[in-house]
Structures are given as C-alpha cells and as structure tokens.
Amino acid sequence: MKATADRRLHEQLVDGSLLLIPIPFPQKSHPSFAPSLGLSFLISLSLSMGSKAHSRFGPLLLRYVSLALAASSWGVTAGRLSPPACDLFRGTWAYDESYPLYDSASCPFIRREFDCLRYGRPDEMYLKYRWIPNGCDLPRFDGRDLLERWRGKKIMFVGDSLSLNQFNSFLCLLHAAVPGGRTSSNRTEVLTAVRFEDYNVTVMYYVTHYLVDVVREKIGRVLKLDSIQGGQVWLGADVLIFNTWHWWPTRGPAQAWDFIQDGKKILKDMDRTVAFSKALTTWARWADSSINPATTKVFYQGVSPSHYHGQDWGGSYRESCSGQTQPLNASTYPGGPAPQEAIVENVLGTISKPVYLLDITFLSQLRKDAHPSKYNGVHFQNDCSHWCLAGLPDTWNQLMYAAVIR
Ligand SMILES: *[C@@H]1O[C@H](CO)[C@@H](O)[C@H](O)[C@H]1NC(C)=O
Ligand SMILES: *[C@@H]1O[C@H](CO)[C@@H](O)[C@H](O)[C@H]1NC(C)=O
Ligand SMILES: *[C@@H]1O[C@H](CO)[C@@H](O)[C@H](O)[C@H]1NC(C)=O
C-alpha cells in the first residue's frame, strides 16, 4: 500500500520531470539592487534560469512557526495536534463570482511559469473558486492589515519552487492591497527579497531543494542529512514558511547530489522517503534548538500534490491536469492522502516549539484544474505540479493569514 503510493508519487515526478523550476546560481554572490522589481526583472530571472539548465537547482522551503499561534486551537501547536474547533483544511470549493483576489495582469511578481492567462490559458473558471471550510468561514485576506501587523518585519519562504509559487502569490496579494505602494528588491544566489517600503515589510524567498545541505566535496556533491547551514540565514527572519519534498524522489540528470551522508556513512543512494524523513527530523531539531518563539513565527507548508494521473481522482489513466476546468467535489480524495503527509505530521509533532502546519494537501488535491499544464511560458510541456497565479496558492496564503489573526 505504502510502496504503491510511493511509486505513484515517484511516477508523477518522473512524468513531470521538469516539474521543478531550476533556480540560477549566478557567478557572483554580490547582492544586486533593483529600484523596483518589475516584470523585466522577473523575465530576466526566468531567462537566465532557462539558459542554465545544468546549474544547480534549488527547492523552496516554506515553514513558519509562531508563538502567537500557541493559543490556537488548530494545526500543530507546541508539538501536538490539538482537536480542531473548526478544521480550516477540510471543506469544499464553491464558485464565487468575486474571485480571483487580484488581476494577474497587474501583478509584477508572477514568474512566467505561473502566469497562465498571459500564456494562453483559455478557460477562467479555475480563478473563481473560494475555499469554504466545514463549519466556519475563511477570513478575507486583508493585505493592508497584514502589512500593518508585520510593519518592520521580515517574512521568509524557504524551500523549493512550490515555496516560490506561494511567495509570488503572497507578493501579489500584498501588492493588490497597496497597488501604488513603493517596492524595492534584491537578489543574491539563494535569496530574493522584495520590500514594501511604506511598511518596511520585507518578503523573501530562500532557495533550497532539501532544507539540509548539499556540499561539494572531492567525491562530488554530498547531500548531508544531518546538516543545516542555511539555518543561519533563516534566523534573520521574523516569520518563516518552510517546505521540502518534491526533489527527494528525483533521479537522473536533475538529481542535485551524487552521494548521501547519513551520520558517518556515505551512501550512493538510499530509500528516498526515509532520507526525506531523516532530513525533516534534522530540520525539526534545528527548529527546536534555534527558534526563539518570542520573536519568530514558523509555518510548515504541507505537501503540495501533483495531478498527472486521472485515476487518482476517479478519471481515466490517460487524463492529467491538462484540460481540467473544475475542482473535484468530494469529501475524500480517491487517490488517498499523500504518504509524506504522515511523515510531516509525525516530525512536526516532535517539535516542542510552536510550528503551524499549513495542511494544504487535501484542499489542493481537489484542484486538478488549477495547474498551469502547457500554459506556463517556458519549456514545461505539461506542468501538473505548480499552480497558476492568480489561483490556488492564494488560498494557502489566506489560510496563513487566518492563522496569524486568530
Ligand atoms: C458537491 O456535492 C454536494 C453533494 O453531492 C452538492 O450538494 C453540492 O452542490 C456540490 N457542490 C458543487 C460546487 O458542485
Ligand atoms: C525596517 O525594519 C528593519 C528590520 O526589518 C529595521 O532594522 C529598520 O530600522 C527599519 N527601518 C525603518 C526606516 O524603520
Ligand atoms: C538591498 O541591498 C541594498 C544594499 O545592500 C540595501 O540598501 C537595501 O535595503 C536592500 N533591499 C532589500 C529589499 O533588501
């Protein structure tokens, strides 16, 4: 059962062999300063990414821990899963004419991989769905309120390109709240930063495939399951949102390491789910020993599902996300939960500091209609892993906002 689920996820990754966006690592590590992060900046970013297919790739990790959330009655809090007063993560999608939350054409922060309308997606129904949790309402995303609450703060998304997806969505939501506001941006090898000047709020994206380190040694690139050097940089943020998973099963040329180090052992390979679990445990120990809950809130972005196989949602084997125009209306996902969800829950459960799990897997599994498929402006033939913007990640950010204001 578990092996089947693992294989299915692996197949999805192979099918979507280009599912993860390569992140360029420029030669120089000097931060460059751009007066505003306009479309040209983003396009040049995409171009340089495209032309460096063999450069290192980075996953985005999203994780976020918050003391303020310690009193929350849902999510993973203080290392325990509390009984939910209202489970924000179970519910249904309903058509809502007032959606989407912003016009993608007027958001300067959408990478072309996610800019579906611009790249020809003909249907627009997928923009119009609102998530309705069972038994309560999801608060409206109030960008001005959030900027005010987080005045002077730094928010950092850490992880692979699913984190990048949520980061872009978050920037668009804030931008839509203060459309005339001044922004500035910076970028180094691993870090992109955008500041909303009027509020002195800095939103960042730190690229990492695995959260744990990949170190270049004499034998080659070594994925170190016990080591997190990036943590030093993350500690500079007031709000952290972590994520990793999609790169773990990757094999072949896109695999970003040559060996795995597990304790003292150097291995050519190992079970990828076990490796993921060990790395996440390393991260959990890091969070427990390094995070000061009085100053830093931590979220973990749950496992984001892909839609490459119709039979997962009761369709035919040949179906994929391509051509899907409506969400699934179901209280359980026919394909079952992603096997990594249980690992994430278990590992987060070992952390004594408050970490809030954005448990987005199920609600995203229903959104077979929300992927870019071929409308991604780059070379992906059928991207059923990332999500269009405007679109589903806006709901992930609404859920994060709900957690902040509770
Ligand atoms: C989903 O299914 C339920 C029960 O079958 C139905 O009442 C509801 O109207 C459906 N929702 C949508 C959006 O189709
Ligand atoms: C902006 O916020 C940073 C912390 O993120 C702080 O160090 C700095 O002094 C603030 N700048 C202004 C002008 O308030
Ligand atoms: C970018 O870097 C410059 C120079 O180091 C700094 O003055 C500016 O505040 C930075 N901007 C952002 C958005 O981090």
CA–CA separation, 350 and 343 (whole Å): 11
Among protein residues, the one with the nearest Cα to ligand 1's atom 7 is 329
Would you state the structure tokens that stand for residue 51, as one six-digit string?
A: 């032309």
C-alpha dihedral (271, 222, 63, 291), degrees to nearest 10: 120
Q: Which ligand is closest in space to the CA of residue 130?
A: 1
Distance between Cα 388 and ligand 2 center (Å): 33
Q: Is 70 exceeded by the pLDDT of residue 145?
A: yes
What is the enclosing helix (H) or strand (E) of 278?
helix 272-290
Minimum mean pLDDT range among 75-84, 122-131, 329-338, 367-376? 75-84
Among 200, 202, 235, 295, residue to substitute to test ligand 2 (most atoms within 8 Å of Cβ) = 200
Contact 42, 205 (CB under 8 A): no
Q: Which ligand is closest in space to the CA of residue 191?
A: 3
Minimum mean pLDDT range among 77-86, 169-178, 189-198? 77-86
Instruction: List residues with catalytic annotation.
Output: 161, 383, 386
Among protein residues, the one with the nearest Cα to ligand 1's atom 2 is 329
C-alpha dihedral (67, 72, 73, 79), degrees to nearest 10: -10
CA–CA separation, 3 and 342 (whole Å): 14
**Per-residue pLDDT, 347:** 97
* Per-residue model confidence as pLDDT tens digits over 354-399: 999 999 999 999 999 999 999 998 877 899 999 999 999 999 999 9
Distance between Cα 34 and ligand 2 center (Å): 19
CA–CA separation, 46 and 41 (whole Å): 9
Among 184, 188, 191, 204, residue to substitute to test ligand 3 (most atoms within 8 Å of Cβ) = 184
Type of residue at 309:
H
Among protein residues, the one with the nearest Cα to ligand 2's atom 10 is 152
Domain containing residue 30: 2-405
Three-state secondary structure call for residue 145: helix
Would you state the structure tokens that stand for residue 87, as one six-digit string?
A: 């489970």
Residue 122: partners with Cβ closer than 8 Å, 6 or more residues away: none
Higher pLDDT, 253 or 150: 150
Contact 23, 58 (CB under 8 A): yes
330 C-beta closer than 6 A to ligand 1:
no
Q: Is 50 exceeded by the pLDDT of residue 250?
A: yes
CA–CA separation, 371 and 321 (whole Å): 7
CA–CA separation, 244 and 231 (whole Å): 14
Among protein residues, the one with the nearest Cα to ligand 2's atom 8 is 152
Q: Is 60 exceeded by the pLDDT of residue 21?
A: no
- Look over the chain and give the mean of its residue pLDDT values, rounded to a whole number: 82
94 C-beta closer than 6 A to ligand 1:
yes
Atom of ligand 1 nearest to the CA of 94: 13
Q: How many domains does the chain have?
A: 1
CA 400 vs CA 19, 208, 237, 278: distances in Å: 25, 21, 16, 26
Would you state the structure tokens that stand for residue 85, as one six-digit string?
A: 């007063």
Average pLDDT over residues 72-96: 65
**Per-residue pLDDT, 85:** 67
CA–CA separation, 154 and 236 (whole Å): 8
